[in-house]
Structure 1
Amino acid sequence: MIIVIDALNRHRFKGLLDEMHRLRARVFCDRLGWDVMVRNGREVDEFDALDPAHVVCLDADGDVVGCMRLLQTTGPHMLADVFHGLLDGEPPLRSSRIWEATRFCVDTKKLNGGKTRNSISYVTSEVMIAAFEYAREAGVLDAVAVIDPVMNRVMCRSANAPYDYLGTPKPMGKVTAMAALMDCSEERIQAIRDFADIRHDVFLTEDEAEALFRSNREAPAQRTAPPAPFPESKTEKADQMPKLPRAPHSNALQQYCYEQVLNAKSQSDVDAAQALIEALSDALGTTSAAELARLARVEAQATRKSVLVAAK
């Protein structure tokens, strides 16, 4: 599940961006041993100050498990200012319709193998799909990225092979680096979707992303304590409504969605809760999502009746 964070909405996602920079530090410094600047457990460089777009993947727990940075090539960018030696003396590409993709990484400790929803392959594909769809929507034709031979093989295996390369591969620190070109075409996006069997819209709305990330942080005890059942009668309103069945495996996300329905005070609140349940149905589980949706319908009817009574 993807949220794109840029200069227009980053004020809403300071905590999420902080988690993204922590993930980058764990991957690029701790695991890969790159010569990157890490301060207070976060990897941040000068290009993060240029208002890039960050493609961030959240899992069902609201944790950041993957990311990629997109930056225009009309100004400073890594291929022009850091990896220019790859270009064999040729000038860097500069165009408003070419973006640079950098700082791609996934959380290999939390994710597993295979092609399941919680796998490295799935999250990699989801981030790639989101990046290409977002860029394509912005009128971008191509993306350029500095990758190593391992990443090149991963991209080739996942129906995302570069269509061309700039300059020649060269040793860069502990790895060999190469500059690769990918078109932001519908054919490429569909090929990655087919490979990963991803048919749904990969993007979360800002409200959905904020709720998913916040739900995990507001109830940290639920991550370690035994799962609690849904509440039964905390308020008079809850007593008058159909009760959800006890859910011995309920989690913070289910609890949060339940509370959004229970606390809805207007039709717009109900609609927002229904949209959240629909967007997170895979993460909630079929049974829980269906029961939450049923409760939302009941609450919508109750809300409409109360509005009619108040209008008389």
Structure 2
Amino acid sequence: MILIVTEENRSLHERELTAMHRQRKAVFVDRLQWPLAAPGGLEIDAYDRPDSIYLLSEEPRTGMILGSARLLPTVQRHLMSDLFADLCEVSVPRGPTIWEASRFCVNPSLTMRQDRHDQLWQIIAGILEVGLLFGLDQVTFVAARALLPLTLDAGWDVRVLGRSRPDGDDEITAVAAEITPDGLKTVRDRHGIPGPVTRFRMMPDRAVA
């Protein structure tokens, strides 16, 4: 199950968001040694804003967060426009129907490759579902060397935006994926996802005076 967390319902998900930021710190700061701030053991950056939308993969029985990703509107500042514009051969795709996905993170306790890949397929299906819900045309993201072939073969309509370039010991590539019903169906069929994965928890109704 993928929880959709927006500014509207964020107060319902403080526990889950804290777990997400803690996992991001364990993966990006502790394991990958990215030079990121982690106040209080939580990885939080300038793009964790009120307009950020989070996709949180939750194990329904235990409430454990298994994976996560962040979506940002490209009409505002985002990672590709600020830090990775050189990866795009022409220009950074931007517009009201284009969002950026970033900070894909799998719970570090999931050590089996298949479990980690399953989280990626779930998140991609969640991105497509959210994109269709919000009327998006594209989602952009920057993929590391290990992630790139997985995202290119996930089942959605995806294209590389420019040449890859070195990034420390890794290599990164800018990518754009189309948001279409056919793409969602293919992702579900290819990865054995039987139906919708996303859920949105509403705020309780408030009494009207």
Instruction: Quote the offset at 1:122 in angstroms.
Output: 2.0
**TM-score normalised to the size of structure 1?**
0.60
Greater RCO (CA < 8 Å, at least 6 residues apart)? 2
Q: Report what 1:121 is aligned to.
A: 117
The answer to whether the 8 A contact 2:5-2:200 is kept is: no
Instruction: Give the whole-Å Cα distance in 1 for the aligned partners of 2:128 and 2:196.
Output: 13
Question: Which secondary structure does the structure 2 equivalent of 1:74 belong to?
Answer: coil
Q: Report what 1:134 is aligned to.
A: 130
The answer to whether the 8 A contact 2:138-2:179 is kept is: yes
Instruction: Give the whole-Å Cα distance in 1 for the aligned partners of 2:21 and 2:174.
Output: 24
Q: Report what 1:156 is aligned to.
A: 152
Instruction: Give the whole-Å Cα distance in 1 for the aligned partners of 2:85 and 2:43.
Output: 22
Richer in strand (by share):
2
Instruction: Quote the offset at 1:107 in angstroms.
Output: 1.5
Q: Does 1:66 align with 2:61?
A: no
Instruction: Give the whole-Å Cα distance in 1 for the aligned partners of 2:78 and 2:200.
Output: 28
Q: Report what 2:206 is aligned to.
A: none
Instruction: Quote the offset at 1:50 in angstroms.
Output: 4.5
Instruction: Quote the offset at 1:3 in angstroms.
Output: 0.6
Question: Which secondary structure does the structure 2 equivalent of 1:40 belong to?
Answer: helix
Q: Output the amino acid matched with 1:19.
A: A
Q: Report what 1:81 is aligned to.
A: 82
Q: Does 1:204 align with 2:199?
A: yes
Q: Report what 1:25 is aligned to.
A: 25
Q: Who wins on radius of gyration, i.e. which is larger?
A: 1
**TM-score normalised to the size of structure 2?**
0.88
Question: Which secondary structure does the structure 2 equivalent of 1:20 belong to?
Answer: helix
Q: Which moved more, 1:135-144 or 1:122-131?
A: 122-131
| Unaligned segments of structure 2, at least 5 residues | 203-209
Richer in helix (by share):
1
Instruction: Give the whole-Å Cα distance in 1 for the aligned partners of 2:80 and 2:46.
Output: 14
Q: Cα gap change, 1:50/1:176 in structure 2, threshold over 3 Å: closer, same or farther?
A: farther
Instruction: Give the whole-Å Cα distance in 2 for the aligned partners of 1:17 and 1:188.
Output: 28
The answer to whether the 8 A contact 2:7-2:50 is kept is: no
Q: Report what 1:47 is aligned to.
A: 47
Q: Deviations over 1:89-139 (max 9, x none)?
A: x4422200111010011124235343xxxx222222111111111111111
User: Runs of 4+ in structure 1 displaced over 4 angstroms?
Assistant: none
Q: Output the amino acid matched with 1:38.
A: A
Percent sequence identity is 25
Question: Which secondary structure does the structure 2 equivalent of 1:85 belong to?
Answer: helix
Q: Report what 2:36 is aligned to.
A: 36
Question: Which secondary structure does the structure 1 equivalent of 2:161 belong to?
Answer: strand
Q: Output the amino acid matched with 1:123.
A: Q
What is the aligned counterpart of 2:180 among 185, 199, 212? 185
Compute the RMSD of aligned alpha carbons. Answer: 1.8
